[in-house]
Structure 1
Amino acid sequence: MQAIRTGVSWAGLVTGPTAWAVSLQLDYSIAYWQCSAGFRPTALFSLTGAAVAALGALASWRAVRDPRHGTSPPLKARTRAFLAKTSVGIGALFTLVMLAQMAAGLIFSGCEL
């Protein structure tokens, strides 16, 4: 419970790129199927990934605002503060990337070729 209250300094650093990679792999794996089925869930995958990345950035933001900068390693508070601030930026960046990917999924069907 304390990690939820004080944040996890590395959460945005892990969740953003992981959510993007999973979303991208899902999009590519169903590309052929969605052309024949007529159903396009790629925007939904990107929106879900963006929500996961935003939650990771939020957890890192809570660690930035905590005076001890989260409860997780590394041991030094200044290192945790740097890691938390970097993780917020990375999480926010990947959230924007996946929102742009979602917009592309709404515009293009993947069957244009």
Structure 2
Amino acid sequence: MSVLLEILKSATPVERQEAAEMLKPYLAVEEKPQKPLRFLSTKEFKARLPRQKNEAWIRDVLLEREPILKQWVYGLHGGKGVKVRFDPAAVDWVLEHRSEIDWSG
């Protein structure tokens, strides 16, 4: 690696740019998915559902029947006074799978 650095030090700016372009695919940094800028309250989540259900149904039935949703829910078992927040991705998942969800109950 140090040999490469010595060669680049003595290279012209054009040669350095060409070397940078050749090395770019090997130095690419993988981007991590970013957290949403804003989480949804239970009321906002409920309003975006394709069928209107009460907040207790969402907490007690939907999240128990579809455990995959729990990865997008924060503060679910936080105790008294902790607000439950939903990642907007949870709404996207529900809308994609609305025909598979059992809405009875």
What interval of TM-score do these two structures reach, taking the shorter chain for normalisation?
under 0.3
Tell me the TM-score normalised to structure 1 length: 0.24
Larger Rg over CA atoms: 2
Bigger relative CO (Cα 8 Å, ≥ 6 apart): 1
Tell me the TM-score normalised to structure 2 length: 0.25
- Considering fraction of residues, name the structure with more strand: 2
